[in-house]
Structure 1
Amino acid sequence: MKYLILILTIAAFTSIILGFTLEVAYSQKLIGFGVVVVFFVIFPLFSYHRWKGKDPKDYMLTKENLDKMRENQKRR
């Protein structure tokens, strides 16, 4: 998964850079394709890869987590 994300990222940014540098009729399409791939393919894959196996409740501001944070502040 890590290598797929890396390859797609390189391809998308290459497409964006080539779209800005090349003087061809479809340069705007290259830029658009790169942006679409970054936001609709790479970002969700990266998010899934990084959050796999973790509990989202640990990162939410619930009453229990706020109480833990306040207790940790009092200890310091």
Structure 2
Amino acid sequence: MKLLKIFTFFTLIASLVSIVCGFLLELEYSQKLIGFGVVGIFFVVFPLFSYYRWKGKSMKDYMLTKENLDKMRENQKNNKY
């Protein structure tokens, strides 16, 4: 799992460097650098990061079911300021 975290981090850095180089360098393919950087962030980095952070967690804990709403109301009553 550590390998996935490292790969995601380096892909993020590469995408950000690509975007910055596209803005700062006066090249004929500057717009392509910016585009590849944005595509890298949204189609590679974000899904890998989401997978890494959500792995092993139950989706049911984050859904608004009747049981979860009742828990939230109970916690809100107990934690009144």
Q: Give 1:25's aligned residue.
A: 28
Distance across 1 between alignment mates of 2:65 and 2:73: 12
Q: Does 1:71 align with 2:78?
A: no
Match of 2:45 among 21, 42, 48: 42
Distance across 2 between alignment mates of 1:18 and 1:62: 47
**What is the RMSD of the two structures over their aligned residues, measured on CA atoms?**
0.7
Q: Which moved more, 1:54-63 or 1:28-37?
A: 54-63
Paired AA for residue 13 in structure 2: I
Number of equivalent positions: 76
List 4+ stretches of structure 1 deviating above 4 A: none
Q: How far has the Cα of 1:61 moved from its partner?
A: 1.1
For structure 1, list consecutive stretches of 5 or more residues without a partner in the other structure: none
Q: Give 2:60's aligned residue.
A: 57
Q: Give 2:19's aligned residue.
A: 16
